[in-house]
Amino acid sequence: MKDEIYYQDATSLARLIKKKVISPVEIFDLLEKRISKLNPDLNAIIQFPDDSRIKAKEAENDLYTKDKLAIFHGVPFTVKDCIDTQGILTTRGSKIFSSNRPNKDATVVKRMKDSGAILIGKTNMPEFALWWETANSLYGKTENPWSIGKTPGGSSGGEASAISAGLSPFGIGSDLGGSIRQPAAFCGIVGFKPSHGRVPLTGHWPNTLLRFMHVGPLSRSVRDIINGLIIMSGNDGNDYYSLKLPRFDFEHKNLDVKNIKVAYCYDGPFNPVSQEVKSNISRASEVFKDMGANVERVFLEDWVDIDHQVATSKIYAVEGGFYLNSIIGENFNKLSPVMKRRLLNKPPTLDEYLDSLKKVEELRGCFTKLFSEYDILLCPVSPTVAYKHDPINHNGNDLNFNPPYLDVDGEIIEGRNSIGATIPADLSGFPAISLPFGFSNKGLPIGVQLIGRYAEDSSLLGLSLCFESHTKGIKNYPYD
């Protein structure tokens, strides 16, 4: 049983606990031993609550005293280090916040605890959650369980690494440019960015660019994502954006796939994309055809001229820079070289900033047009599979380092292109999911991205559930 527990999803663990097949304390003890064995090499979990085993024992006692148990009763979970946890170090990946202990839980953490789940750790991330790698000057870098020396992605890379390695069954991450979906794809798990406003941002940091920011779940199965969204979603009375959408209710248990129209694209605005990733998208399109969906290839020519990569780099530089500079103040020298360099870059002009805002609105129009004809867009998560860590010394002071780059079948491109296929859904606010599907010729996971209509998270997750069932979900794991 113990060997199987590591890779059970949260929903299965909750069922086993309620049936008294295994206790919350037994699960915690097994995971604690596994974390002790694997985490020193992975560096995925960087803080551990003092009371996790006590909470597990309380959950075990409740099995015999309570008539009704919550969804994830007794199930362990982990949380990205930029999401507040009461009394537990929440450093945001920065020496500036190395002693920060929030006085209350973020809304999503409180709701998970109210669901019976037990917080067992905080996970690593880049400084301020603003990088597509997971490394910082406080805790160092996190490794990909599938290949030590390669990135787990970012900025929710610690979460993805922990879940992939069987250290945690469920995690909470955040996504501004792909920070849930890209790590999920690199580590072979499921990562979901809900419709903007579906899940409250209260207690997530940084408190900027909120109209593009999302908090969401990572796990091993779509059903975990569904249950997690049921728990975490809905207005909390504090986050303005959470007023837009009601609490999530899964309504598509018996989705008729034959009525679904799927558009797929692996080039156009996502170029360049490796041949392995392109082939994987083509294979995924054939799966949807086998399922009975109507599938068509699209080219998204109207997206290409928008250049969403450039637009976001300018918007994020202006708004993020203004916000962070006001907080950093005299602590500039405590920053990592990556953050120092970003903040020292010449800011965009007003015209460049306004033009970028205009392009975001144009992109939203493109999404609206696409989804007037199709229900789902199938596209890459990243142009490549997980690659080697960037060469930056995050503890150094050298600001003249060469920026990270990607090698896409011999074409060298900027590292930021790693999130080029995920950024559009953040700008539009549309729901998007990364599903594990296939492996590279070197045995690294490949993910596919599905984007759905705004507020129709239920339809997107229903189709994802069908896809997962049809393809048998995750079959391989990085460790025994």
**CA 218, 144, 153, 345 torsion: positive or negative?**
positive
* DSSP code string of 393-413: -TTS----PPPPEEEETTEEE
Average pLDDT on 302-324 reads 95
Q: How far apart are CA 73 and CA 86, in angstroms?
A: 20
pLDDT tens figures, 150-186: 999 999 999 999 999 999 999 999 999 999 999 999 9
- Model pLDDT, residue 400: 75
pLDDT above 80: residue 431: yes
For residue 27, which of 4, 61, 50 has the smallest C-alpha distance? Answer: 4
pLDDT tens figures, 395-424: 877 787 777 889 999 999 988 899 999 999
Strands (E), 235-276: 261-264
Q: Are 311 and 356 in contact (CB under 8 A)?
A: yes
Average pLDDT on 433-455 reads 97
Q: Which residue has the tokens 């669901």?
A: 115
Tokens, residue 64: 């015999």
pLDDT tens figures, 26-59: 999 999 999 999 999 999 999 999 999 999 999 9
Domain ranges of the chain: 2-259+384-471
- Model pLDDT, residue 2: 54
What is the percent of the chain with per-residue pLDDT over 90, rounded to a whole number?
A: 90
* Exposure on the CB side of residue 32, measured as CA atoms within 13 A: 16
Q: Which CATH architecture has domain 2-259+384-471?
A: Alpha-Beta Complex (3.90)
Q: Is 445 exposed, middle or buried (0-12, 13-18, 19+ CB in 10 A)?
A: buried
Phi, psi of 257 (to 5 degrees): -65, -25
Instruction: Collect all residues with Cβ–Cβ distance below 8 Å to 351 and sequence separation of at least 6.
Output: none
pLDDT above 80: residue 3: no
pLDDT tens figures, 245-293: 999 999 876 788 999 999 999 999 999 999 999 999 999 999 999 999 9
Q: Is 330 exposed, middle or buried (0-12, 13-18, 19+ CB in 10 A)?
A: exposed
- Model pLDDT, residue 65: 94
Indicate the average pLDDT of the chain: 95
pLDDT above 70: residue 70: yes
pLDDT tens figures, 332-382: 999 999 899 989 999 999 999 999 999 999 999 999 999 999 999 999 999
